[in-house]
Chains A and B, each alone.
Chain A
């Protein structure tokens, strides 16, 4: 279980996260939704310890405060799938995924047969075995995203954070990735926090949804509880309708009055 308690983050005088508290159970996928600039990425970065939170904020796993342990120790408990940015192009896919084993290696980075096997299995799970020996720079955005997921899988942690992992994927791989994320939680027992733009993907593939607006958690609950016209309309400054999904009855959010530019 991952416990986030009163997490506050400022850049200079600007408050990006304001007293955020969330709980993610083992075996659960929690979606983090909210408009651009709401602080979704900052939350992922703060929980993974790369952005400094105000004193008093705590991220707990079994009584261990993840913000006060060493990066090595933290990386054994929590893995991150970042938004793809410029990856070093000359590394091969296998070398990149192998870096996920870092928290288990000595400072020389010597790998064992077990590390090799974990990497192989991670590549298999994201359907990237045939990419293994190719340089990362040659891959499409979607393929790079899967490589980063494989790297997090190789890290073999009980907690996983994902930051907009579907942004560069086509429909097939969006669904494939979210199915895999759900399997990781439901079958392998991981606690997963996933920042998502697409409300309808969040509704179909995650167990609970947290709505973040201006750095504050406005609502947490099942997709049915959070994805309602009142909350979504206000958060996104856009009137929406919500209808049941024809396949499984999950909420389907449809914007009603398209407007070229938001007012703010």
Chain B
């Protein structure tokens, strides 16, 4: 699946940014009421300038307090999943690593639901408890899966996926149990756990932002270390990388990003698998570039998936996790077959 010819001359970043912008405008325009892309831009520019044209007043509320925050949240979630997927793939030296497939997303989901079922008082720390608990559970999962899957110094694909699936099933079972037992607040989380952006509004955007700034921020600067790690721990260290420290930092950052995405947007699979994979085919394996591009590409991909989730059974909405899974599972099988045939790594 090479990149179409005319696009090859453009810088990968220009192209990615352009598609992200396109997806964002589309995501704001599409919904129960269609708003022309030109009007979308005029409302946003107007709001930034402080005066919205009177003929657009009727759209302003929809755009500014419903669709724009949802779009930003989806973009941030996609960026987190795309870049952490690329980081996990580099870290495990395995093209099938993905926050969902290795169980981290389900682990984080369980952590989030546990925190929700404790019924914290509505306060700053009460709100922080959910993402924090998701992060702890994500870390616990990733270390357990890694230790279980490791054979000597390598992490074979089958072991990684099997351990991930086992952990994922276990965490999902516990999550379901907690949800069935509880009432009210947590039951409503059912839609969330399947990856629906039920947490609309700017609160969720502000909530996810600090985690992402730290997690994704560290990841985009980890490209050189991940390049070195592709040659194995020993060579990486002989070339000057403090291997254990670098791996720990990247693992924590990727898990923090995943946990933040799960805590605010639910469990959305396969973004971290599909996006880095396609980008690697188009623009090569250099992680310095791949991480930044996966961030942009993840955001774009999830925005498009979210638009689809709104239109396939309109006026109802599908959880976006269903859309990404429907696209992602066949893609996963294709990558698996390809990796087997070509000895990809």
A residues in contact (CB < 8 Å) with B: 45, 48-50, 70-72, 74-76, 79-80, 82, 85-92, 95, 99-100, 102-103, 105, 107-109, 151, 155
Contacts and interface: CB of A to CB of B under 8 A. Distances in A.
Interface stretch (B98-106, B202-210, B231-239): B231-239
10 contacts: A72-B242, A75-B239, A85-B232, A89-B344, A91-B285, A102-B228, A103-B240, A107-B221, A108-B288, A109-B227
Interface string B15-26: 000000000000
Contacts of B234: 45, 50, 82
Interface of B: 93, 221, 223-225, 227-228, 230-235, 237-243, 280, 284-286, 288, 344-345
* Residue with the greatest number of chain B CB neighbours at <10 A, chosen from A49, A71, A108, A151: A71
Given A49-B237, A100-B239, 15 more contacts: A70-B242, A72-B240, A72-B242, A76-B240, A80-B235, A89-B344, A90-B285, A91-B230, A95-B227, A99-B228, A102-B228, A102-B241, A107-B225, A108-B221, A109-B223
A87 B239 contact: no
A88 B231 contact: yes
Contacts of B221: 107-108
Given A88-B285, A105-B224, A109-B224, A99 B231 contact: yes
A205 to B, nearest CB: 23
Given A72-B240, A74-B240, A85-B232, A102 B224 contact: yes
B157 to A, nearest CB: 14
* Residue with the greatest number of chain B CB neighbours at <10 A, chosen from A80, A82, A90: A90
Counting from the closest, the 3 A-B pairs by CB-CB distance are A109-B224, A75-B240, A90-B285
A107 B224 CA distance: 7
* Residue with the greatest number of chain A CB neighbours at <10 A, chosen from B232, B239, B285: B239
B230 A88 contact: yes
Contacts of A79: 238
* Residue with the greatest number of chain A CB neighbours at <10 A, chosen from B93, B241, B243: B241
A108 B224 contact: yes
Contact of A71 (B224, B232, B241, B280): B241
A95 B239 CA distance: 14
Contacts of B224: 102, 105, 107-109
A204 B242 CA distance: 38
Contacts of B285: 88, 90-91
A85 B233 CA distance: 13
A102 B240 contact: yes
B187 to A, nearest CB: 46
A154 B250 CA distance: 27
A49 B236 CA distance: 12
Given A45-B234, A99-B227, A155 B239 contact: yes
Contacts of A107: 221, 224-225
Contact of A102 (B223, B239, B344): B239
Contact of B238 (A48, A85, A109): A48
A95 B288 CA distance: 12
A75 B227 contact: no
B345 A86 contact: yes
A72 B238 CA distance: 8
A97 B17 CA distance: 31
Given A50-B233, A88-B231, A80 B223 contact: no
Given A88-B345, A90-B285, A91-B285, A82 B240 contact: no
Nearest to A82: B235
Nearest to A96: B231
A86 B345 CA distance: 8
A100 B238 CA distance: 9
Contacts of B240: 71-72, 74-76, 102-103
A120 to B, nearest CB: 19
B95 to A, nearest CB: 10
Contacts of A103: 239-240
A107 B288 CA distance: 11
B242 A50 contact: no
B75 to A, nearest CB: 25
Contacts of A88: 93, 230-231, 285, 345
A176 to B, nearest CB: 23
